[in-house]
Structure 1
Amino acid sequence: MTNGRRADALRAGAVLLAAIAQIVGSPLGSALAGRSVGEVSDATRALITPAGYAFSIWGPVFALALAWAVYQALPGQRDRAVHRATGWPLAAAFAGNAVWELLFPQVGDRVPVLPAVLLLAIVAAAATAWARLQAMPLTGLARLLPAAVTGLLLGWVTLASAVQVASAGVALGAPAQGAAAQVWAVVALGAVAALGAALVLVARVAAGPFALAVAWGLVAVAVDGGPGVVTVAAVGAAVVVAAALAVRVAGPRERGALLLG
């Protein structure tokens, strides 16, 4: 086996192992800690925490990640440029998810900075894969699978990182309710809207899955039934991201790649 093939096999194996690890990480973390992610999250709930149903997005993310991990590990796929470009960043993101799932139930309410920093690292890894995908000219499953999983993952963790930082603040003693909490919630939602819209406007690939994940989370923040100003801000942020996607779709770019991958 040549050095190139050996490196491709190593990368493909790392992606596959990390994709599996993030699936088993949550039940394993809950079993080890004796409490679930949801229980810890409820104890440090911030005003921008989405309604519980929103977290079901991890199902499609995990399924797409596993499907792509298996596909890119096939002997005929390992040396594709798109898999080489996105493999290690996404493997890092998947592995980061697995570690977060183990870490958060243990220390999410006692040392909240650790899972918050880890989640920001996951965002950075997913964003790296996203940026590399934008220059990929391929079509079909070779681009569709990594583009779809990267878009959904980056969109969700973009919102989740804001929620995690807010929850960490509550765990460290910041008020969970009141005027100050509402101001910070609106600022955080505005930041998510600005970042989400900016990424959609510059995207060439997979803006659809990214915008869908961000809007999904923002609408769930509104559905959660917090103070009126937070609900309005969450709906407004979702509208901003959706409007950015509409602007991009109306442009001359290839709509299939933009919306799907």
Structure 2
Amino acid sequence: MSDTEASRPADLGRQIAVIAAFCFMIIGAMVGTGLLGGTAVQDLQGGALDADASYLAPARPAFSIWSAIYLGLAAYTIWQALPGQRARLRQRTVGWWIALTMVLNGLWLVVAQFATLPLTVLAIVVLLVALGLTFRRAVTSRLTGEGFLDALLIDGVTGLHLGWVTLATVANTAAWLTATGPAAWEASATLWGIVVLVVVALIGLAIGFFGRWRIAPALALAWGLCWLAAARLAGAPSAPEIGVTALLVAAVVLLPTVVIAGLRLVRPDVD
């Protein structure tokens, strides 16, 4: 069954919108990270977004995942602009949504550079919701027999983006609460950190279930959790209990996905 119909003017408009959204995201990233003369991300908001600013912040190497996400979004932007992709039903289903997530991605960095810490939380929560809806649409619009590029550039890249932003939302919110809360809160920070990570485990499993156990979100989330563990076990502020919990949550999130991926190799009809 083909998912290509006759081309419409709106299809070309969608392709152009995706390109424009990617350009905005890259410009936003350059502004937000200080490449155009602003402040580096780790120094924004008085350092509240740095790896040592809260108990739920991952170590700095974790943020290298943005390179993979941006590279994947660049590849998607080029691929979806090809004439053969213009009138595909799947591109019509997800193209505008992926464009929206790229705009919101760039907007978060601009907000972090020029606005307040609470507004960064609002911006990243909106991005997370948009990514969740986009990933769900991507998974449910997938037709049997669609190729490797569909799996990689739509399901894979969107899933990677979603998984990482899930943890980034937790870290961003923790940074805000740490920066604005009373000093007395630190006495119970370890307990609340563990509780939040249990919630992250439930969210990760929910993403897996509703995303039909696509592996990309679990990989990104587990990546961030492992670096969070590294930061708490070997960095400052030290919190070994949170570090161990983060490793356990990474395993809980990743294991079901890996098992089902293995089953799909044996039985392709498993979904």
Name the counterpart of 1:36. Answer: 40
Q: Distance in 1 between matches of 2:100 and 2:249?
A: 29
Name the counterpart of 1:24. Answer: 27
Q: Is residue 125 of structure 2 the alignment partner of residue 120 of structure 1?
A: yes
Structure 1 segment 158-237 matched on structure 2, within 5 A: 158-175=166-183, 178-204=186-212, 207-225=214-232, 226-237=238-249
| Length-normalised TM-score, structure 2 | 0.85
Query: Identity, % of aligned pairs?
Result: 32
- Aligned 8 A contact 2:117 2:176 in 1: yes
Q: What is the identity, as a one-letter code, of the residue corresponding to 1:59?
A: S
Q: Which digits, 9 at most, give the CA deviation of each residue in 1:24-52, with x for residues without a partner?
A: 32222325673111112672211010000
Q: What is the identity, as a one-letter code, of the residue corresponding to 1:60?
A: A
| Length-normalised TM-score, structure 1 | 0.88
Q: Is residue 247 of structure 2 the alignment partner of residue 240 of structure 1?
A: no
Q: Alpha carbon RMSD of aligned pairs, Å? A: 2.6
Specify the SS of the correspondent of 1:204. coil
- Aligned 8 A contact 1:152 1:209 in 2: yes
Number of aligned positions between the proteins: 253
Q: What is the identity, as a one-letter code, of the residue corresponding to 1:113?
A: P
Q: Distance in 2 between matches of 1:254 and 1:70?
A: 33
Q: Which digits, 9 at most, give the CA deviation of each residue in 1:222-260, with x for residues without a partner?
A: 00133111111111110111222134225458888999x
Unaligned 5+ runs, structure 1? none
Name the counterpart of 2:93. Answer: 85
Q: Which digits, 9 at most, give the CA deviation of each residue in 1:122-168, with x for residues without a partner?
A: 11111111111222112332343111110100000011111111111
Q: Distance in 2 between matches of 1:23 and 1:218?
A: 26
Name the counterpart of 2:71. Answer: 63
**Between 91-100 and 249-258, the greater mean CA deviation after superposition:** 249-258
Q: What is the identity, as a one-letter code, of the residue corresponding to 2:227?
A: A
Per-residue deviation, 1:197: 1.7
**Between 127-136 and 194-203, the greater mean CA deviation after superposition:** 194-203
Q: Which digits, 9 at most, give the CA deviation of each residue in 1:50-92, with x for residues without a partner?
A: 0000000000100110111111111221111221111111111
Q: Which digits, 9 at most, give the CA deviation of each residue in 1:170-225, with x for residues without a partner?
A: 222354973321122112211111111222134336x2111110000000000013
After superposition, the Cα gap between the structure-2 partners of 1:36 and 1:145, relative to the gap in structure 1 and judged at 3 Å, is same
**Between 39-48 and 26-35, the greater mean CA deviation after superposition:** 26-35
- Aligned 8 A contact 1:71 1:77 in 2: yes
Q: Distance in 1 between matches of 2:26 and 2:161?
A: 14
Q: Which digits, 9 at most, give the CA deviation of each residue in 1:76-125, with x for residues without a partner?
A: 21111221111111111110111111110223xxx211111111111111
Specify the SS of the correspondent of 2:83. coil
Per-residue deviation, 1:15: 1.2
Name the counterpart of 1:73. Answer: 81
After superposition, the Cα gap between the structure-2 partners of 1:177 and 1:57, relative to the gap in structure 1 and judged at 3 Å, is farther
Name the counterpart of 1:153. Answer: 161
After superposition, the Cα gap between the structure-2 partners of 1:188 and 1:256, relative to the gap in structure 1 and judged at 3 Å, is farther
